[in-house]
Structure 1
Amino acid sequence: MVLTSPKVSHAEGVEPATFVIGESVAHVAVVTARLFDRALADKLRRHNVPIGQWPFLLFLWADETLTQRDLSRLMAIEEATVTSTIDRMVRDGLLLRERASHDLRKNRLKLTARGQQLKQVLLPEARAVVQRATRGLSKAEIYFLLTLLRKVEANLVDENVTPLDGRESE
Structure 2
Amino acid sequence: MDYTKCINFLLTIAQHEVFLIFSESLAQFGITPGQYGVLACLWKDETLTPKEIAQILRVENSTISGVLDRMQKRGLIDRVLDPNNRRSIRVKATNEGLSIKEDVQQKIEELNDSVLHNFSQHEREELLILLSRIGHINLEETEKG
Compute the TM-score of the two structures, normalised by the length of structure 2: 0.88
Q: Quick one: which of 9, 28, 36 aligns to 1:46?
A: 28
Q: Quick one: which of 54, 63, 81 aligns to 1:99?
A: 81
More helix by share: 2
Are the equivalent residues in 2 in contact too, given 1:95–1:111 (CA < 8 A)? yes
| More displaced stretch, 142-151 vs 59-68 | 142-151
What is the deviation of 1:84?
1.4
Q: Quick one: which of 15, 34, 51 aligns to 2:16?
A: 34
In structure 1, distance between residues paired with 2:127 and 2:139: 16
In structure 2, distance between residues paired with 1:114 and 1:48: 11
Deviations 1:66-96 (A, max 9, x none): 1111111111111111111111111010011
Quote the residue 1:145 is aligned against.
127
Unpaired runs of 5+ residues, structure 1, are: 1-18, 155-162
In structure 2, distance between residues paired with 1:86 and 1:51: 13
- Secondary structure of residue in 2 paired with 1:98: strand
Where has structure 1 moved over 3 Å in runs of 4 or more?
163-168
- Secondary structure of residue in 1 paired with 2:85: coil
Q: State the aligned residue count.
A: 142
What is the deviation of 1:23?
2.3
1:83 equivalenced with 2:65 (yes/no): yes
Q: Percent identity?
A: 22
Deviations 1:2-25 (A, max 9, x none): xxxxxxxxxxxxxxxxx2222222
Q: Quick one: which of 101, 118, 121 aligns to 2:103?
A: 121
What is the deviation of 1:97?
1.2
Deviations 1:89-124 (A, max 9, x none): 110100111111111111121211110011111111
Compute the TM-score of the two structures, normalised by the length of structure 1: 0.76
